[in-house]
């Protein structure tokens, strides 16, 4: 039986011996690397060594010269702490020298304590557990449905990490979309960090769970080269289902005095190193070069380059026209998607609220329904974006991105370029109540290194925010609004990352009021009220909350008597107000009074809530007068 | 067959008719309520009406007079959007009037769009899906292991929300701990918000998944009163396993032109209201009072009151002694636990790193191992804390609390009092690399309404921080440090929420440097270096990051020439620096220069990373000199 491209025939006896030798050589590397670094996870690495040998030297198609080739098989080490085994595999593949891998965890070495894509053979960072399978599922979705290519995706997970719910979100997603190009391998080595896992070596329970989640689950001895190869062959020939190998293994396999024992997690072998090296070296039957090369790539994935993506036509709105920016989201995606076919949108059963549905209706083949599983949705988005194969937009109620904060955080370490779009933010959503109100979304996204955060106030700026997002290489977050807001910009207005806009200005301005999104319109209303009373204020539309437009804030603050009022439909912490206050505090000389949501809002009409929780036009008027008093 | 206390015998034919009538009366309320509010979820409510009638009027033991009685059965509506059915049930139980429930979603009404504990019969807020089962599991754990009482826990979930991985974390936890006092009911009505769920009416798949996760899963027609009661009786008599009812239902059941149809999520019935009311009313065979009372409570849960919890002995450290505050965590819990038996600690397989293990070793029966499933761990913690039955501490690597941001956010709406303790924060953890470094934890926890955030710098302040946390009614977060830091406080020093400490002070101070945790020690080192060069700085230990000690910051800033430098092992956004800058910007006149981690750190020795990423003593010295230049 041969699996064709997907999987070669079973290895013969000689090849099995070579694969076993490679695994043992990897074990030697693992002991040496972690001894040299004085920290790391040799035992978690050793349990997976035989599996990696089978994958890297019998099954996977890849190129040592071009590890991120668009058509090569993908490999995700979800149990990132076991990275010594990964570095050892690439050493045996010829990419890394034996000297180089001894720099593990050292300053200036790229061989970090957990994998990051600072190394050219790693697509995504891992180390926060339970995230790899979602990313792998995203890669597999891309391979099957967008690239329609031959490459396959392999994901190694620890047994402990399968306690993470995100794994089961990914499992459900992968079977729903029949990702038969995806193989998960659970390294069931029984032992967690601080004690045995809940399921120990109950491989039958793991199998039952994967079966119930729609997978082809196969129990295998993870140290038996032939058995692993056989199961991988079955995986390659199974149609319409992903395959899970439930690999029974031993932590610290082949290390005397360590193997299968507790209290050996995350530490070098120390005085057990000598016996371990001796034992493993004694098992190696041939110390010469192993002579195995990766299987060749079938180069059938399309070549992708990202152009500058422009809206197919400029905004066509009428000043004062009321449109919810969440509605604009769907329309902007359509206008971007018409110009570029690799724009992909994901949503988790909120598409009729976020208006991702507009894009689905236009380009159903480029929309991925992820159901109510935000962690997996973000992981799939990261996977779809890997190797720069898609421009990815992921939408949800902004509050529900908090569900995936860890995935987003890790996404930044993974150098992902996913664009997040959150609707239904703040108390201005009204009757649905606080569980649905994002009031901490900017605090969250602003922490993401390199992230750009937009909060457009009208349809014109919203269209341009999405255009900027599509072209930004890094994470972006755009908050859209549920209520319809008036168009305040001409269709010809241009926008930039990190630049805010002055919307009202006079020579006699006493205070600068900075709003964004719904609160900009409150600021404009306050301007009108105050003007009628003879008090001029400058009104700034923040538009971009990160990076903050420090120069403009300082300039406006100084021009208006050293007084700024910020107003945001967000909690006081980590949003517009703190961002502006911290920016101007660098220079000093400008007072900043912040208006933000106080306490936990309740259900009610939006206008009433904005008044009750302190961010209405009326509240701005009072704050301005108080500042001037 | 009778289930004894847990479950009465099956209802006779007459009682079935009464229960069915009650369900239909609830449907009338549901239509009327959502019509009156003009928004809400009548169809998601109707699918669960028969189930709630069985629970509230045949199965559950509770008190209408005292809904949060310590011994009553618990009910969690995880599908919170279906709250009209919950309000309707309490109306039929006699707690809410027919007039009152028509205030649904109105301002000043407590009948919010999703349940919150502002109402006295609701323990926790729901509305972010997939969270209820973890909380219910925490309640059941408390009932079985801490209270050793008869009360049981019922949790209604939607089918769509079972896509959330947190549900499977909770499922695994509940079977692992044999929570046979827990019943989950999945309302499989087939339809999500924007389209059919991934599994539709495949109740066999749901059953297989719950079975595989170790539950007793029973498929039942969710509109058949007798079938539901029978399954609930089986649940009551099943030992050592939680039970899941997989209830096949129809969304909008009994509403003509609506039932089982798409596009009816989250909207009142409008012109279909008339036909719906007519149809449902025609099914009611008796319009008189139903005459059913709740089953009486067996009052066998211990009465709990929280005393002021004090360390059993004061700190006993030596000035200059080096101790990691994470180590102090375990020791402080032991000292608190000796004085009060209701202190409970949870950890997710990191107990040997967070040092929760110290408490486990001392009081194993008050420690709950939650394995690698942080969302569920937080939910269980919230459940354990409900009805003020335990003082709960939950520990993890601080970075991994990002996994549970949504649960923590909802926890605040639930008025939870859980104390979170995060270790391994910042680049100062060293070799493990960025995936393990919390650099956004304060940004996250500072957004939580009412949360208190501590960052102790030594063992004395750490002990007191945990003592303050144990006594604070609300969420607390304490960040502990991986490296050992020198004791800087006398054992007699006292600490308060919202109060920082001045550690170095002279009349000639030129700049105030505010540090916290590991960076306080960098600030002290910088003080020494600068002093040798004739530059005096004031050194402040922030200790409490929320609420920020604004008065002290302003006072110190003004006393030192209007100059503050903040330094934190955290990203620039949302942490110490922005908190201080925003606080002093209210008054103006003080410049704040922030030092924080720039970019994504890599693996390396802690001291080197602190230098490379801009937060070392050396960086402080430079920043002070630059500010004075």
Beta bridge partners, B486, equal B322
Question: Region A589-601: what's the mean pLDDT?
Answer: 96
CA dihedral of B521, B523, B529, B535, whole degrees rounded to 10: -150
Query: How far apart are the C-alpha atoms of A29 and B518, rounded to whole Å?
Result: 35
pLDDT classification of B9: cutoffs 50, 70, 90 = confident
pLDDT classification of B3: cutoffs 50, 70, 90 = very low
For A160, which residue in chain B has the nearest alpha carbon? Answer: B372
Query: How far apart are the C-alpha atoms of A163 and A130, rounded to whole Å?
Result: 8
Residue of B476, B473, B488 whose CA lies nearest to B518: B488
Instruction: Say if the Cβ atoms of B165 and A198 lie within 8 Å.
Output: no
Query: How far apart are the C-alpha atoms of A526 and A332, rounded to whole Å?
Result: 30
Distance from CA of B537 to the nearest CA of A (A): 18
Residue of A366, A464, A379 whose CA lies nearest to A416: A379
Query: How far apart are the C-alpha atoms of B409 and B581, rounded to whole Å?
Result: 25
The residues in B 599-618 lying below 8 A from A, measured between CB atoms, are 599-600, 602-605, 608-609, 612
Helix (H, G, I), strand (E, B) or coil at A295: strand
- Taking each helix axis from N to C end, the angle separating B225-236 and B13-37, rounded to the nearest 10 degrees, works out to 110
pLDDT digits (tens, 9 = 90+) for B553-606: 999 999 999 999 999 999 999 999 999 999 999 999 999 999 999 899 999 999
End-to-end CA distance of chain B: 86
pLDDT at A5: 63
Cis peptide bond N-terminal to A547, omega within 30: yes
Query: To which H or E segment does residue B367 belong?
Result: strand B367-369
Percentage of chain B exceeding pLDDT 70:
99
At A589, list the tokens.
């000389």
The DSSP bridge pattern shows strands A391-397 and A537-541 to be: unpaired
pLDDT classification of B108: cutoffs 50, 70, 90 = confident
Listed in sequence order, the residues at least 6 apart from A486 whose beta carbon sits closer than 8 Å to its beta carbon are A320, A321, A322, A458, A521
Judged against a pLDDT cut of 70, whether residue A171 lies above it is answered with: yes
End-to-end CA distance of chain A: 86
Residue of B485, B489, B472, B527 whose CA lies nearest to B505: B527
Helix (H, G, I), strand (E, B) or coil at A391: strand
Contacts of B402 in chain A (CB under 8 A): 405-406, 409
pLDDT classification of B7: cutoffs 50, 70, 90 = low
pLDDT classification of A7: cutoffs 50, 70, 90 = low
> Strand A74-77's sheet: what is its strand order?
A74-77, A153-158, A182-188, A243-248, A216-221
Instruction: Say if the Cβ atoms of B591 and A594 lie within 8 Å.
Output: no
The residues in A 122-141 lying below 8 A from B, measured between CB atoms, are 125-130
> Strand B243-248's sheet: what is its strand order?
B74-77, B153-158, B182-188, B243-248, B216-221
For B167, which residue in chain A has the nearest alpha carbon? Answer: A165
Question: Region A247-257: what's the mean pLDDT?
Answer: 98
Chain center to CA of A103: 28
Instruction: Say if the Cβ atoms of B584 and A582 lie within 8 Å.
Output: no
Residue from A133, A350, A433 to probe the interface with B (highest B Cβ count within 10 Å):
A433
Judged against a pLDDT cut of 60, whether residue B441 lies above it is answered with: yes
Judged against a pLDDT cut of 70, whether residue A1 lies above it is answered with: no
By Cβ distance, the residue of B164, B582, B587 closest to A165 is B164
Q: Which domains does chain A have, with CATH numbers?
A: 13-283 (3.40.50.970), 322-486 (3.40.50.970), 501-628 (3.40.50.920)
Q: Please tell me if residue B5 touches chain A, with a CB cutoff of 8 Å.
A: no
Helix (H, G, I), strand (E, B) or coil at A122: coil
Neighbours of A234 (CB within 10 A): 18
At A619, list the tokens.
């509240």
Question: Which residue stretches of B451-587 are H helix?
Answer: 459-471, 518-532, 550-559, 576-585
- Contact (Cβ atoms closer than 8 angstroms) between residue B99 and residue B87: no
The DSSP bridge pattern shows strands A485-486 and A322-323 to be: antiparallel
Residue of A127, A608, A540 whose CA lies nearest to B107: A608
Judged against a pLDDT cut of 90, whether residue B524 lies above it is answered with: yes
Query: How far apart are the C-alpha atoms of B395 and A205, rounded to whole Å?
Result: 28
> pTM (2 decimals)?
0.98
The DSSP bridge pattern shows strands B476-479 and B452-454 to be: parallel
Largest CA distance in chain B: 92
Judged against a pLDDT cut of 90, whether residue B1 lies above it is answered with: no
Average pLDDT, chain B: 96
Residue of B12, B88, B22 whose CA lies nearest to B50: B22
Contacts of B579 in chain A (CB under 8 A): 573, 578
Neighbours of B320 (CB within 10 A): 9
pLDDT classification of A6: cutoffs 50, 70, 90 = low
Judged against a pLDDT cut of 90, whether residue B5 lies above it is answered with: no
Judged against a pLDDT cut of 90, whether residue A128 lies above it is answered with: yes
Contacts of B572 in chain A (CB under 8 A): 582
- Interface predicted TM-score (ipTM): 0.97
pLDDT at B6: 55
Q: Please tell me if residue A238 touches chain B, with a CB cutoff of 8 Å.
A: no
Listed in sequence order, the residues at least 6 apart from A130 whose beta carbon sits closer than 8 Å to its beta carbon are A78, A157, A161, A162, A163, A164, A165, A166, A167, B372
Question: Region A405-432: what's the mean pLDDT?
Answer: 96
Contacts of A172 in chain B (CB under 8 A): 163, 198
Catalytic residues of A: 374
Judged against a pLDDT cut of 80, whether residue A2 lies above it is answered with: no
Average pLDDT, chain A: 96
Vertex B94: Cα angle to B88 and B97 (nearest 5):
65
Judged against a pLDDT cut of 60, whether residue A269 lies above it is answered with: yes
At A6, list the tokens.
């997907």
- Contact (Cβ atoms closer than 8 angstroms) between residue A422 and residue A477: yes
pLDDT digits (tens, 9 = 90+) for B145-184: 999 999 999 999 999 999 999 999 999 999 999 999 999 9
Q: What are B547-552's contacts with CB under 8 Å, separation 24+?
A: B547/B452, B547/B497, B547/B498, B548/B498, B548/B579, B548/B580, B548/B583, B549/B498, B549/B499, B549/B500, B550/B583, B550/B584, B550/B586, B552/B499, B552/B500, B552/B502
pLDDT digits (tens, 9 = 90+) for A182-241: 999 999 999 999 999 999 999 999 999 999 999 999 999 999 999 999 999 999 999 999
Instruction: Say if the Cβ atoms of A163 and B371 lie within 8 Å.
Output: yes
Q: How many beta-carbon pairs below 8 A join chains A and B?
A: 348
Q: Kindly list the distances between the CA atom of residue B522 and the CA atoms of A301, A518, B529, B629, in Å, as whole numbers in the listed order.
A: 52, 43, 11, 21
Distance from CA of A35 to the nearest CA of B (A): 14
Q: Kindly list the distances between the CA atom of residue A597 and the CA atoms of A456, B161, B417, B532, B576, in Å, as whole numbers in the listed order.
A: 19, 29, 21, 47, 20
Distance from CA of A15 to the nearest CA of B (A): 36
Question: Region A487-508: what's the mean pLDDT?
Answer: 98
Residue of B221, B225, B185, B222 whose CA lies nearest to B20: B225
By Cβ distance, the residue of B109, B116, B446 closest to A573 is B446
DSSP A285: S
Q: Please tell me if residue A364 touches chain B, with a CB cutoff of 8 Å.
A: no
Residue of B121, B96, B91 whose CA lies nearest to B26: B91
pLDDT digits (tens, 9 = 90+) for A292-301: 999 999 999 9
Helix (H, G, I), strand (E, B) or coil at B223: coil
Distance from CA of A319 to the nearest CA of B (A): 30
Q: Please tell me if residue A578 touches chain B, with a CB cutoff of 8 Å.
A: yes
């Amino acid at each position: 039986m041969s699996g064709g491209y997907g999987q070669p025939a079973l290895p013969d006896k000689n090849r099995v011996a070579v694969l076993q030798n490679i695994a043992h050589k990897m074990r030697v590397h693992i002991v040496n690397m972690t001894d040299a670094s004085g920290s790391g996870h040799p035992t978690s690495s050793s349990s997976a060594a035989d599996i990696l040998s089978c994958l890297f030297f019998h099954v996977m198609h890849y190129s040592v010269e071009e590890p991120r080739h668009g058509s090569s098989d993908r490999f995700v080490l979800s149990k990132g702490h076991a990275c010594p085994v990964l570095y050892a595999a690439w050493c045996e593949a010829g990419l890394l020298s034996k000297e180089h891998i001894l720099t593990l965890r050292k300053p200036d070495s790229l061989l970090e304590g957990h994998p990051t894509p600072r190394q050219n053979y790693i697509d995504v960072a891992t180390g926060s557990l339970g995230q790899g399978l979602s990313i792998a599922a995203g890669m597999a979705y891309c391979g099957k449905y967008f690239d329609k290519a031959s490459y396959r995706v392999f994901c190694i997970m620890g047994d402990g990490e399968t306690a993470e719910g995100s794994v089961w979100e990914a499992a459900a997603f992968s079977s729903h979309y029949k990702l038969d190009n995806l193989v998960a391998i659970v390294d069931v080595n029984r032992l967690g960090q601080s004690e045995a896992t809940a399921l120990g070596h109950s491989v039958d329970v793991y199998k039952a769970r994967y079966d119930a989640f729609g997978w082809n689950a196969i129990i295998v001895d993870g140290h038996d080269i032939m058995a692993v190869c056989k199961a991988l062959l079955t995986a390659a020939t199974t149609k319409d289902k992903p395959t899970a190998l439930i690999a029974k293994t031993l932590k610290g396999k082949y290390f005397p005095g360590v193997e299968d024992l507790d209290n050996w997690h995350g530490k070098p072998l120390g005085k057990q190193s000598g016996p371990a090296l001796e034992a493993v070296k004694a098992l190696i039957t041939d110390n010469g070069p192993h002579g195995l090369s990766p299987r060749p790539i079938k180069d059938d994935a399309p070549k992708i380059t990202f152009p500058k993506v422009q809206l197919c036509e400029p905004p066509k709105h009428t000043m004062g026209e009321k449109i919810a920016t969440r509605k604009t989201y769907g329309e902007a995606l359509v206008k971007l998607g018409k110009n570029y076919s690799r724009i992909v949108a994901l949503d988790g059963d909120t598409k009729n609220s976020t208006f991702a549905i507009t894009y689905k209706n236009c380009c159903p083949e480029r929309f991925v329904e992820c159901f109510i599983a935000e962690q997996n949705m973000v992981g799939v988005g990261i996977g779809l974006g890997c190797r720069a194969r898609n421009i990815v937009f992921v939408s949800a109620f902004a509050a529900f991105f908090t569900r995936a904060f860890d995935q987003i955080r890790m996404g930044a370490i993974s150098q992902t370029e996913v664009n997040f779009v959150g609707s239904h933010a703040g108390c201005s959503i009204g009757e649905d109540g606080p569980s649905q109100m994002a009031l901490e979304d900017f605090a969250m996204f602003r922490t993401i290194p390199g992230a750009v955060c937009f909060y457009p106030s009208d349809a014109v700026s919203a269209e341009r925010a999405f255009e900027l997002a599509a072209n930004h290489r890094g994470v972006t977050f755009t908050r859209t609004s549920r209520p319809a807001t008036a168009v305040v910009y001409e269709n010809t207005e241009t926008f930039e990352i990190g630049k805010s806009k002055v919307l009202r200005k006079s020579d006699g301005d006493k205070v600068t009021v900075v709003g964004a999104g719904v609160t900009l319109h409150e600021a404009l209303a306050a301007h009108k009220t105050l003007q009628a009373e003879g008090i001029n204020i400058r009104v700034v539309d923040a538009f971009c909350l990160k990076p903050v437009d420090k120069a403009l804030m300082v300039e406006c603050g100084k021009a208006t008597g050293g007084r700024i009022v910020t107003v945001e439909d967000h909690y006081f912490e980590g949003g517009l107000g703190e961002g502006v206050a911290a920016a101007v505090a660098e220079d000093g000389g400008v007072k900043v009074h912040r208006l933000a949501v106080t306490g936990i809002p309740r259900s009610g009409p939006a206008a009433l809530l904005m008044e009750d929780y302190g961010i209405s036009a009326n509240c701005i008027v009072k704050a301005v007068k108080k500042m001037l008093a």
